[in-house]
Amino acid sequence: MNKKYKKLILSIVLDIIGIIPIPFLDVIWAPLSGYLMTKMYKGKQGKVAAIISFIEEAVPFLDVVPTFTIMWIYSYVFNKEKVEKIIEF
């Protein structure tokens, strides 16, 4: 399986983890999701996505937004020519 599709599967799994409706989990998951986003997606896009991911997980009722999967789509569908230059996770 290609690295990009492994990253897609990981993104979906991380989004599912973020949907779990346990308030205490959000306190731990919000900063962790931001950190993981910076590790999965390098550069300015990864940093911006990490901030968005942190806010999305920290604010109640926004947990349903699939931030990791949206970032994968942005990286590999809309911005694919630049991704090939960025070091993979």
Task: Count structural domains, the chain.
Answer: 1
Vertex 41 angle, CA 38 and 46, to 5°: 60
Which of 69, 2, 61 has the alpha carbon at shortest distance from 26? 61
Is residue 37 situated within a structural domain?
yes
In a domain, 89, yes or no: no
- What's the domain range around 12? 3-83
56 burial via Cβ count (<10 Å: 0-12, 13-18, 19+): buried
The whole-angstrom separation of Cα 59 and Cα 76 is 27
Is 38:46 a contact under the CB 8 Å cutoff?
A: yes
Give the tens place of pLDDT for each residue, 4-28: 899 999 999 999 998 887 777 888 9
Nearest to 87 by CA among 41, 38, 35, 33: 41
The answer as to whether 71 is a domain residue is yes
pLDDT by residue (tens digit) across 16-66? 998 887 777 888 999 999 999 999 998 999 999 999 999 998 888 888 899
- Work out the pLDDT band at 81, boundaries 50, 70, 90: low
The model scores a pTM over 0.75: yes
Name the packing angle between helices 23-40 and 43-58 (round to 10°): 170
